[in-house]
Structure 1
Amino acid sequence: MINPATVTKLHEMRLSAMAETFIKQTSSQEYQDLSFEERFGLIVDMEWARRKNNKLLSLIRKAEFRYPQASIEDIEYHADRKLDKGQILRLSTCAYIEEKRNLIIMGASGSGKSYIACAYGMTACRHYYPVKYIRLPDLLDELAVARGEGNFKKIMKQYKKVSLLIIDEWLLTPLKETQAMDLLEIVESRHQNASTIYCSQFAPDGWHEKIGEDTLADAILDRIVHDSYKILIDGAISMRERNGINT
């Protein structure tokens, strides 16, 4: 017989999955032959699974992926893309996050950089790492506003603690000196502390010119390039064209 007070207490303690499983067990004959330990184990397992799933959904929501359905399994290995499948799969273990190393994904517009980056981000979420996806123009705007409102240190702390930061549209256009200084703050705070994925149309050799001021450029590149894995996406046909997307 179900004790309503017990169910109420479980809900008050936010143990809704345990409450649901308890009701199911007491209402069904199929559990009557199980021992107390077996039945209690099933109740705990259900609550644990619910909480893990809720945590995963929360991580994905907070990451704000451009492609929240992206997955490593769905990456297309067309011959002209010249992707190293072995490297792609090795990186999907998230060992680079444990190593606190970076990943640079290079390719022309429409080559699928953002999709692959989001696929790695989704994999990181499934390993329960906090992830954040953002375009560099949006990041620079956010930092500029934070400086003006006196929240710069608070925003920097948020970007420092995320396990994997994905910066898309990396250095598409030249930076102002103030933007380069803000970018150095981000890069420095994460150097050897957390992993970052950089999606760029340009190889690192071309970043120096985009950053501008020599000292800042040297400092930023020194903290990114030397401990990064690199993926180069080739391809005579863009992924937009392959998939019939016109925009």
Structure 2
Amino acid sequence: MKGISSYADTGRFEEISLASSSYSSILYDSIRDRPDFKAGLSEQAHLAAKFESEAKYSVLNGFSYISKHVNPHKKWGMLINLSSFAKDANLSLHRNCIYCSKAVDLNINAMVDNNYNTFYVAEKTEAGELGEDIAAMQQYPVTADTSVSTLLLSNIKQGERAIIVVPLKKKNFSHCMNFIHHAGDGIVVDGQQNKLYNFNNNADKKIFDSLYGAASSAIKPARIYITGKAPDIRNEAWEMIEHPYFPDNDWEEL
């Protein structure tokens, strides 16, 4: 299997030999321990009160609020990246999914700690990077037969949350999002694209697996970075709150 020395959200997922990777010099237990984890993010304290209100009404409302507000410069970023997309359609108009995923994780952590002093957003619209000098990082091969939803549910324990990097079936790059595992089910927060996927909802799970995975005989890597505990969902129905789904072509639309 191939590996990646660092996942850079450049719009491509470059693969190199594991022999040249940095697995032999793991420095951090968690990606959150890296000193640059908050780089490219900003704090928007004026959003904290509404975030707290939504999160305390229900955990799913909290996730929805996070997904809708962590990428405030989405349209501006698309315009910035338009020139490179015109030259190479294998690149993405959206480049900041790593920054968005870090902001999502910090906000979910606020829910875990019941500490709503601020709200994190992705300030940068360009590519970010995830290193592999992380003890809690997991990497798995994805083939045409792989259900990415099953892979996530099987390798992220109940009560845990993670930053995930999974390949898109119809694109030549991978996407960074967040996964929360509860009671045998899970929810994906895609902060960059303002989406939620509720795996307790068969339609959502089917849509997710139709978008992410390997569409051909190629073997693609998926990565899981465990970041901590998931918020408690106390007797909340796993019903998808009203949250419009945007089709796959929004990757290319202005």
What is the TM-score when the length of structure 1 is the normalising length?
A: 0.26
Which structure has greater helix proportion? 1
Q: TM-score, normalised by structure 2?
A: 0.25
* Larger radius of gyration between Structure 1 and Structure 2: 1
Q: Which has the higher strand share?
A: 2
